[in-house]
Amino acid sequence: MAKAYWISAYRKINDADKLAAYAKLAGPAIAAGGGKFLARGLPAKTYEAGLSERTVLIEFESVAAATAAHDSPAYKAALAALGDGAERDMRIVEGAD
């Protein structure tokens, strides 16, 4: 089974306090779902139409595991804490075998 990657790109941070509250809850919720943070922060370099925005890359054992982590009550609580604190583009992508 192919691994899966949860990719979030932060287009805009509206409220740093809400983002901090989200991060405090989201990290443990993602780890409990089997997620492993591979990268997070601003890009070291951008190319083509790339934007210099905060990006987070998390690895899971499968798409099902990533989806379950996202849909878990613990992660939903993190999303509630974030509210309108950030505008993000989030996706789950299946890894290549």
* Residue 97 in this model has a pLDDT that exceeds 80: no
Q: Give pLDDT, residue 1.
A: 78
CATH of the domain at 20: 3.30.70.100
Range of the domain at 54: 4-94
| E-only strand ranges, 4-62 | 4-13, 36-41, 55-60
Q: How are strands ordered across the β-sheet holding 86-94?
A: 36-41, 55-60, 4-13, 86-94
Q: Give pLDDT, residue 13.
A: 94
Q: Please tell me the total count of domains within the chain.
A: 1
Residue with tokens 């789950």: 92
Residues in the chain: 97
pTM: predicted TM-score of the whole model, two decimal places: 0.91
| 41 contact partners, CB below 8 Å, separation of at least 6 | 54, 55
